[in-house]
Chains A and B, each alone.
Chain A
């Protein structure tokens, strides 16, 4: 317990972090640079890649919701994928990544998130989870919720 709590101290702001509030972090800049570099190198059209990967996979949102809870995604990301600064987990409901990017990160996370292999989380389950997250509506802006502006 005490050892874990000590480690917990290191987690905030150091785990998977794709939120806008840390957009200036070197890691993200590096990832962006590598992505653009690869696109230029291989003649890969960035715009087209984003467009095609936005196409939703065949996922069952209802089952995805169950899996999101049973597979423990909510433990760090919250039950509606809202993310949490304390865990460092990104807001993923609705996801800002394409399914391809989402899948790549889940399989081989580049920061603090534990890896979910296909053995622990089969392809279809991941597609269902993505469908669930995609089904979560965007909330109103913070400025439109009176209690958030007191």
Chain B
């Protein structure tokens, strides 16, 4: 990151020059007019001892009690941010200083990150535990370029991240050199395709209004990232003592709810169905969502398939059919998708051969229904919206907010006959659920004692150590075959937070750290199953956790590869009958093997491993948990099977 490497006129030298220049002005009044036209002069004028000794009078003001950045911090505080994550940057130096001094470095507290991607991903993970956003500060140029991938992940995952970019709009206010490289006409342009709203306020009043608007826009489903540009000159301009400006009142956002007629029709179809299936994905936007979904499912005694974008439904609930999702979907006569990211994918099968094909995985006459806030907001360029699905009814609304009225409607329509049928169905589904659980346990038994350690064994050794704690799993389980959802007893909203959204690598470690930051005040034991390739993107997040004493336990899923890509290249090699001997080229992380325990130790974090004997894993995790319980982060490096 080469942000401030221009040696000729850096900020510090410039300030020295400016102070010296002011003294020179006092000594040479005739030059005042010319000098004052150059508020950010780059080269200090020559000084005489006499000039240095004199007290300047009538020269430019060099100090101010209060500048725009103080007011911006007032605004930021009014929005209730607990933390602001940032890698420092001079384009927001005013806000930075106001946060740590004027604001007392509290609400928000400044969290030092080593990469803007980490800043945004921390905010991403934090939101999914706390259901409110963090602020992120970044340069409008090099900072947001680093942040862009993480913002895209948040966009795809429908997570509101509140990004404030520093920038200097007025060309006459930029110092030569670095500040020009770090200035841009339209700072938000680079991320506009995957943010919901942005603005460039040109006054403090404007900043106050747009800050409140940005918050409300971000938090109204579909919840999405927003960008506010904080002009550097606006940050640093003094505020008149008689100024009446104030933060704008923040109105509580009300999520869009499905209209009563459509909700009634969905309820009618669900009640009449023989095998209805509810697909949940990003349904439980808040902790209330999980309880609402349980209410609906129990009212109907119907199958629930949790796609695990969030923790939507208890894993051991008898109606949870996630481990037999395809079978449940294939047998369904009504399928209701609740904020499902890829409805087409779960209702179709797809084959990746030379000729790519897909076909419906549902009955021909199955009714397909969706409730999704995605239908309220769509952009053209990035294709996260997935393939178009021919559904019978699409309600453009937030599913969590719609669930209570839908459940009420179902209860109203359920006759005694239907209730008896529901109960019979519930008994059958409970049996299917238990059979699926038994199959998963049997599957986990294969390679149980293998070395490298199987992903099932890794997950169960972790489970064995945390099951009696108030725990929170904050890493994606996609790459460990979703063993936690299949075998753990998960029933609280914060016990799983989903994945990256956009599948951009580099998300998991910082998101887990952000989630741990949210969990800290509740005293929860935060655990994360961390892929090696993901951590290699920006390992500085380990330092951030150590520095800020964020208690999180990283269990490395160290298969020493970008393994998904090993398989992708292998597919190509097989397709060409060329053998797969070279498929490790460009895809594996070996030669040398990375010591993640030493990496953690180098960042001030407890590290242990590499562990490749499954018998050693449980005790190692236990030792690491003791560290985490003391309020510090820890990492256990586990050499694993691929998936």
- Judge: A and B partners, yes or no: yes
Residues of A at the B interface (CB closer than 8 Å) are 1-2, 4-14, 19-27, 70-72, 74-76, 78-87, 91, 93, 111-112, 114-117, 119-120, 139-145, 147-150
Output the nearest chain B residue to A114 by Cβ-Cβ distance: B574
Q: Are A1 and B643 in contact (CB under 8 A)?
A: no
Q: Are B447 and A8 in contact (CB under 8 A)?
A: no
Q: Are B482 and A72 in contact (CB under 8 A)?
A: no
Q: How far is the CB of B1 from chain A (nearest CB, A)?
A: 20
Residues 441-488 of B contacting A (Cβ, < 8 Å) = 441-448, 450, 452, 454-456, 460-461, 463-464, 467, 478-482, 486-487
Chain A residue contacts of B548, Cβ below 8 A: none
The 8 closest A-B pairs by CB, nearest first: A142-B441, A5-B503, A114-B574, A82-B446, A84-B643, A24-B327, A82-B447, A85-B481
* With contact pairs A2-B503, A87-B567 given, residues A13 and B446 touching in the complex (Cβ less than 8 Å): no
Q: Are A5 and B583 in contact (CB under 8 A)?
A: no
Q: Are B450 and A80 in contact (CB under 8 A)?
A: yes
Q: Are B574 and A120 in contact (CB under 8 A)?
A: yes
* With contact pairs A7-B352, A22-B327, A84-B455 given, residues A75 and B570 touching in the complex (Cβ less than 8 Å): yes
Q: Are A71 and B580 in contact (CB under 8 A)?
A: yes
Give the residue of A14, A25, A79, A149 whose beta carbon is less than 8 angstroms from that of B441.
A149
Q: Are A78 and B641 in contact (CB under 8 A)?
A: yes
Output the nearest chain A residue to B584 by Cβ-Cβ distance: A72
Bound complex: CA A91 to CA B442 (Å): 11
Q: Are B482 and A86 in contact (CB under 8 A)?
A: yes
Q: A86-B479, A139-B445, A139-B448 are in contact. List 19 more A-B contacts (CB 8 A).
A: A1-B562, A1-B565, A4-B565, A5-B503, A22-B326, A27-B349, A75-B566, A78-B447, A78-B450, A80-B446, A114-B574, A141-B442, A141-B445, A142-B438, A142-B440, A142-B441, A142-B444, A145-B441, A148-B445
Q: Are B443 and A111 in contact (CB under 8 A)?
A: no
Bound complex: CA A21 to CA B441 (Å): 11
Q: Can you list 18 residue pairs at the A/B interface with Cβ under 8 Å?
A: A1-B562, A2-B503, A24-B324, A70-B581, A74-B641, A74-B642, A75-B642, A78-B446, A79-B452, A82-B456, A84-B643, A85-B482, A86-B481, A114-B574, A119-B577, A145-B444, A147-B464, A150-B463
Q: Are B330 and A14 in contact (CB under 8 A)?
A: no
Q: Are A72 and B446 in contact (CB under 8 A)?
A: no
Greatest chain A CB density within 10 A among B464, B467, B502, B568 is at B568
* With contact pairs A115-B575, A120-B577 given, residues A79 and B350 touching in the complex (Cβ less than 8 Å): no
Q: Are B444 and A72 in contact (CB under 8 A)?
A: no
How many A-B contacts are there with CB distance less than 8 Å?
177
Q: Are A150 and B467 in contact (CB under 8 A)?
A: yes
Main secondary structure of the interface of A (DSSP, over half): loop
Q: Are A13 and B326 in contact (CB under 8 A)?
A: yes
Q: Are B324 and A22 in contact (CB under 8 A)?
A: yes
Bound complex: CA A2 to CA B194 (Å): 15
Determine if B538 is an interface residue (Cβ-Cβ < 8 Å): no
* With contact pairs A78-B447, A91-B443 given, residues A72 and B454 touching in the complex (Cβ less than 8 Å): no
Give the residue of B353, B448, B563 whose beta carbon is less than 8 angstroms from that of A145.
B448
Bound complex: CA A116 to CA B574 (Å): 6
* With contact pairs A86-B480, A141-B442 given, residues A78 and B454 touching in the complex (Cβ less than 8 Å): yes
Q: How far is the CB of B10 from chain A (nearest CB, A)?
A: 36
Determine if B345 is an interface residue (Cβ-Cβ < 8 Å): yes
Determine if B323 is an interface residue (Cβ-Cβ < 8 Å): yes
Output the nearest chain A residue to B618 by Cβ-Cβ distance: A147
Bound complex: CA A147 to CA B444 (Å): 10
Residues 106-161 of B contacting A (Cβ, < 8 Å) = none
Q: Are B448 and A2 in contact (CB under 8 A)?
A: no
Greatest chain B CB density within 10 A among A5, A8, A148 is at A148
**B492-515 contact mask (Cβ, 8 Å, vs A): 1 or 0:** 000000000011110000000000
Bound complex: CA A139 to CA B454 (Å): 14
Q: Are A147 and B324 in contact (CB under 8 A)?
A: no
Residues 610-643 of B contacting A (Cβ, < 8 Å) = 641-643
Chain A residue contacts of B463, Cβ below 8 A: 147, 150
Chain B residue contacts of A142, Cβ below 8 A: 438, 440-445
Q: Are B443 and A79 in contact (CB under 8 A)?
A: no
Q: Are A114 and B575 in contact (CB under 8 A)?
A: yes
Chain B residue contacts of A111, Cβ below 8 A: 351
Give the residue of B327, B436, B565, B580 whose beta carbon is less than 8 angstroms from that of A72.
B580
Output the nearest chain A residue to B477 by Cβ-Cβ distance: A86
Q: How far is the CB of A110 from chain B (nearest CB, A)?
A: 9
Q: Are A19 and B443 in contact (CB under 8 A)?
A: yes
Bound complex: CA A21 to CA B482 (Å): 14
Bound complex: CA A134 to CA B480 (Å): 25
